[in-house]
């Protein structure tokens, strides 16, 4: 039945869309485009579309599922249990229907999982006729398809189909020809997966080329019709169980994300977990700068409410250094806050993960940190290159190598692959406190850059360079702000009420949870 109102919802008139007394039907999706209504429904293993071109006064039916190898019809439910995904999309006179079926099945009572396949069909005349279905999951093993979780969106000449797999991928099949053909599916999650994924086309962009994706806890977007996506960034913190997310777009392309979640492991609650509703807004570019602020970060690990504040920057060419680099920052740290939990209780202040991951990993391309030294905090820096892992530590017997709590300190890491010896260095307040020899190019990897995520601190004047600064250069400018136009400066965050990269290179930071702009170094 369809309830239709012609008076803005004051009253509704029921209309029968489909009737089959021999079967119990299920409605999976409903889409309206002007006077045209489209319903995706199913009977047993059959899926179809009911079409009305007169606001529900009368309907026709088009069956979607095609026969499997055994001659029978084996369509799956058009939705996952407890989670709605759009399976119908419209663009002008075109309507698109999406579903999963089994092309093999095997024999009665047994499903051959390798037969699962995802199909799209289109109508270019408001549902009067439909084209031959197109299999959009080619190249993906049928056993890996998570049926019911696929979703579709369309606008202009672009059609997008997003579907998760059971081996930790989120695949995007796309068409630039209004669904006439689809390009091979690509993993836009870069291996991080996402059981519940969402896809939204920018409502302002008339072409349909700008599309936003939420893959699990990760967010990314494309401005070229899905050909490339930004590196996924975490929309919510680590140690966060995320369920049934929703994605919408607000003013100025801001991504509005909401869903259920909790900050503890499933085992802690014995499976009876109490979820809360969380929401956040992600803007493509942070607000313009203010004046005189640093970034306050708080972290903690407790059984049911861990907190890991941080600023995150998507991996990109400006941060993926090769032969030379410098990372520097001002930091004022307390005794509190979370650590990595490994044997030396490391507290990284700034680090770039080697691999993009949804889990915490002590595997960094480069990092500035402290480690435990008999209850004190010893300064440490590290890089991972094509030749191995190279950490350096300050001398615990010297006071310059230990971090003083609640006192500002300037820390800088440099590396130069072109120098044979002592080519990785760590400075504190312009003084060399640790050095070592490494070889090979920096293994930048796919991981994102983080400031925070561990420790309690205020950070300020975070700067990354694509060259190895000398001691004189570090000491010469560490006590004054930069313009952002300095030669070799790859990213610059003075945290003046913004996390915008002041170099103009677009490496804008994303705040994760409850960070604050506080009084900074100056």
- The pLDDT tens digits for 117-147 are 999 999 999 999 999 999 999 999 988 999 8
Q: How far apart are CA 401 and CA 343, in angstroms?
A: 20
Rounded to 5 degrees, what are φ and ψ at 21? -65, -15
Name which of 142, 79, 151, 86 is nearest 114 in CA terms.
142
Name which of 183, 251, 256 is nearest 214 in CA terms.
256
| Residue 286 confidence (pLDDT) above 90 | no
3-state secondary structure 370-385: EEEECCEEEEEEEEEE
Q: How far apart are CA 138 and CA 85, in angstroms?
A: 21
Name which of 300, 294, 287 is nearest 251 in CA terms.
287
Q: Which residues contact 272 (CB under 8 A, 6 or more apart)?
A: none
Q: Which residues contact 4 (CB under 8 A, 6 or more apart)?
A: 12, 13, 14, 15, 55, 56
Q: Please tell me what DSSP assigns to residue 339.
A: -
Confidence of residue 364 (pLDDT cuts 50, 70, 90): very high
Rounded to 5 degrees, what are φ and ψ at 472? -65, -40
Predicted pLDDT of residue 229: 94
Predicted pLDDT of residue 57: 86
What is the average per-residue pLDDT within 24-35?
89
Residue pLDDT, tens place only, 449-476: 999 888 888 999 999 999 999 999 999 9
Q: How many CB atoms lie within 10 A of CB 40?
A: 23
Predicted pLDDT of residue 44: 77
The CATH T-level fold of domain 14-240 is: Neuraminidase (2.120.10)
Name which of 337, 315, 277, 375 is nearest 458 in CA terms.
337
Q: Which residues contact 183 (CB under 8 A, 6 or more apart)?
A: 173, 174, 175, 176
CA angle 476, 482, 484 (to 5 degrees): 135
pLDDT greater at residue 88 or residue 20: 88
Q: Which residues contact 113 (CB under 8 A, 6 or more apart)?
A: 142, 143
Predicted pLDDT of residue 69: 85
Predicted pLDDT of residue 362: 72
Q: How many CB atoms lie within 10 A of CB 58?
A: 12
CB 501 within 8 A of CB 492: yes
Residue 408 CB-density burial (10 A; 0-12 exposed, 13-18 middle, 19+ buried): middle
Confidence of residue 366 (pLDDT cuts 50, 70, 90): very high
Long-range CB contacts for residues 348-351, cutoff 8 Å, separation at least 24? 348/450, 348/453, 348/454, 348/455, 349/411, 349/451, 349/452, 349/454, 349/455, 349/457, 349/459, 350/449, 350/450, 350/451, 350/459, 350/462, 351/449, 351/450
Residue pLDDT, tens place only, 205-252: 999 999 999 998 889 999 999 999 998 988 877 656 777 889 999 887
Domain 294-518: which CATH number of 3.30.1950.10, 2.40.50.100, 2.60.220.30, 2.60.120.200: 2.60.120.200
What is the average per-residue pLDDT within 416-426?
97
**Chain center to CA of 403:** 34
Q: Which residues contact 458 (CB under 8 A, 6 or more apart)?
A: 294, 295, 296, 297, 331, 332, 518, 519, 520
Predicted pLDDT of residue 311: 92
- Mean residue pLDDT of the chain comes to 89
Confidence of residue 8 (pLDDT cuts 50, 70, 90): confident
Predicted pLDDT of residue 453: 82
Q: How far apart are CA 145 and CA 165, in angstroms?
A: 5
CB 116 within 8 A of CB 69: no
Predicted pLDDT of residue 170: 94
| Residue 194 confidence (pLDDT) above 90 | no
Rounded to 5 degrees, what are φ and ψ at 269? -105, 10
Four-residue CA torsion sign, 473, 474, 479, 480: positive
pTM: 0.87
Rounded to 5 degrees, what are φ and ψ at 321? -70, 155
| 518: β partners | 294
What does 97-111 look like in DSSP terms, one character per residue? EEEEEES-EEETTEE
Predicted pLDDT of residue 289: 66
Q: Find the length of the chain.
A: 522
| Residue 266 confidence (pLDDT) above 60 | no
In the chain, domain spans: 14-240, 294-518
């Amino acid at each position: 039945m369809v309830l239709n109102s012609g008076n803005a919802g004051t009253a509704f008139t029921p209309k029968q869309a489909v009737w089959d007394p021999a079967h119990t039907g299920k409605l999976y999706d409903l889409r309206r485009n002007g006077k045209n209504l489209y319903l995706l429904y199913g009977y047993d293993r059959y899926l179809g579309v009911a079409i009305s071109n007169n606001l529900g006064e009368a309907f026709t039916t088009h069956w979607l599922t095609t026969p499997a190898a055994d001659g029978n019809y084996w369509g799956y439910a058009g939705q996952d249990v407890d989670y709605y995904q759009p399976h119908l999309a419209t663009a002008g006179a075109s309507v698109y229907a999406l579903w999963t079926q089994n092309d093999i099945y095997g024999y009665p009572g047994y499903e051959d999982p390798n037969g699962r396949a995802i199909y799209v069909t289109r109508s270019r005349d408001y549902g009067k006729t439909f084209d031959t279905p197109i299999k959009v999951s080619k190249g993906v093993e049928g056993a890996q398809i998570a049926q019911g979780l696929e979703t579709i969106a369309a606008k202009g000449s672009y059609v997008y189909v997003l579907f998760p797999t059971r081996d930790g991928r989120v695949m995007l099949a796309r068409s630039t020809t209004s669904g006439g053909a689809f390009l091979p599916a690509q993993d836009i999650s870069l291996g991080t997966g996402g059981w519940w994924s969402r896809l939204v086309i920018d409502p302002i962009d008339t072409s349909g080329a700008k599309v936003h994706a939420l893959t699990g806890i990760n967010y990314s977007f494309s401005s070229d019709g899905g050909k490339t996506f930004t590196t996924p960034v975490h929309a919510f913190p680590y140690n966060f169980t995320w369920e049934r997310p929703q994605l919408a777009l607000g003013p100025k392309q801001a991504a509005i994300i909401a869903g259920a979640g909790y900050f503890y492991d499933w085992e802690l609650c014995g499976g009876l977990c109490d979820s809360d509703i969380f929401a956040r807004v992600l803007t493509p570019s942070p607000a313009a700068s203010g004046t005189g602020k640093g970034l306050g970060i708080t972290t903690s690990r407790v059984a049911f409410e861990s907190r890991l504040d941080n600023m995150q920057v998507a991996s990109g060419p400006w941060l993926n250094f090769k032969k030379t680099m410098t990372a520097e920052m001002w930091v004022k740290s307390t005794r509190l806050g979370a650590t990595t939990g490994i044997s030396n209780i490391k507290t990284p202040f700034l680090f770039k993960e080697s691999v993009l991951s949804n889990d915490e990993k002590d595997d960094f391309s480069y990092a500035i940190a402290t480690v435990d030294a008999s209850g004190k905090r010893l300064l440490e820096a590290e890089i991972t290159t094509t030749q191995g892992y190279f950490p350096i530590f300050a001398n615990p017997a010297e006071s310059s190598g230990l971090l003083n709590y609640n006192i500002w300190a300037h820390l800088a890491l440099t590396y130069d692959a072109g120098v044979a010896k002592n080519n990785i260095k760590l400075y504190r307040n312009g003084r060399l406190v640790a050095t070592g020899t490494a070889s090979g190019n920096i293994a930048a990897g796919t991981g994102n850059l983080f400031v925070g995520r561990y420790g309690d601190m205020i950070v300020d004047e975070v700067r990354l360079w694509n060259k190895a600064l000398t001691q004189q250069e570090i000491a010469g400018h560490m006590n004054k702000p930069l313009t952002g136009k300095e030669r070799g400066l790859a990213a610059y965050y003075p945290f003046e009420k913004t996390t915008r990269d002041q170099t103009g290179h677009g490496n804008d930071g994303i705040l994760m949870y409850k960070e604050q702009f506080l009084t900074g170094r100056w």
